[in-house]
Amino acid sequence: MNNRSLPIAKKRSIIQQALIIFTHIPKTAGTSLRHILMQQYGKDAVFMFYDDPTVTTKNADELLNELRSYFQYLPDVNDRNFNGLVKLRAISGHKPFGIHNLLPVDTFHYITLLREPIERVISFYYHVFGRTEHSLESLISWKQSIEFDNLQVRMLSGAGWKVPYGHCSCNMLEQAKHNLLHYYTFGIQERFAESLGTFSRHLGWSQIQMVAENVGINKPKTSNINQQTLHLIAEQNLLDIELYQFAKQLFEERQKILST
């Protein structure tokens, strides 16, 4: 849904009536945002799918059958009045941009949170691999997980896990920027409170209760990571770094407009 040319009030009205699709990028405070989705719309109106995307890639029928098993009143696949016939308000998962193409839905709007890429990779390592004998540097050198390789560009461009490790492109970066501008309300993990204000204004949320969920407790400060490891992470995530800088600048520009 591209409504950039519409008046702001009209655009927000359309967004608030649309199906909200949360692109949950791992280790970006997404679990906290997911709980806020349930606060705002009710648990019964938010569907969450968190199977392993590196193993399972669902087609349209499989996804709809999974939704139907949870929402018994889901209409048939060919019924295009999806939004008007079901109580589903939002879906959330570690799924890249483009999942709207698998759903019989006419109005949709994406949301997401981004995080400084080096911090995100370190947080992911300690969350998933921190209790192993293998160092972060060795796992990145071995290309152990595709989540070490420009994951935010992968998810916002729609490429996801289909592109092999080390093959993300500048075209994917530009597609991610385009999608962020045209389809997303987004926030920045490091500025979570301000980001919630952005979601509230655009999506009509109220009385948000902030809950810290899935917070890493054993992650060392970035300043304690050796420079060789930090350099390696940056090399593997140059596109994510550029996307984050683009998003952060856009976020700050919009915050300044609100404060004037």
CA 142 to chain centre: 26
Q: How much is the average pLDDT of 141-159?
A: 94
> Burial letters for 7-17: b for 16+ Cβ neighbours within 10 Å, e otherwise?
eeeebbeebee
Handedness of CA 24, 30, 35, 39 (dihedral sign): negative
Q: Whole-model pTM?
A: 0.85
- Whether 1 shows a pLDDT value over 70: the answer reads no
pLDDT for the residue 29: 92
CA 88 to chain centre: 19
C-alpha span between 40 and 203 (Å, rounded): 10
Rg of the chain, C-alpha, whole Å: 18
pLDDT for the residue 50: 74
Query: Which of helix, strand or coil describes residue 24?
Result: coil
Residue 74 per-residue DSSP state: P
pLDDT band for position 32 (cuts 50, 70, 90): very high
**Residue 212: partners with Cβ closer than 8 Å, 6 or more residues away:** 32
Identify the CA nearest to 99 among candidates 169, 30, 24: 24
Chain segment 93-143, per-residue pLDDT in tens = 998 999 888 777 778 999 999 999 999 999 999 988 876 778 899 999 998
**How many C-beta neighbours within 10 Å does residue 24 have?**
22
Q: Provide φ and ψ at 112, rounded to 5°.
A: -165, 170
The length of the chain is 260
> In the CATH hierarchy, which fold is given to the domain comprising 8-259?
Rossmann fold (3.40.50)
Query: Which of helix, strand or coil describes residue 97?
Result: coil
Amino acid sitting at position 53: P
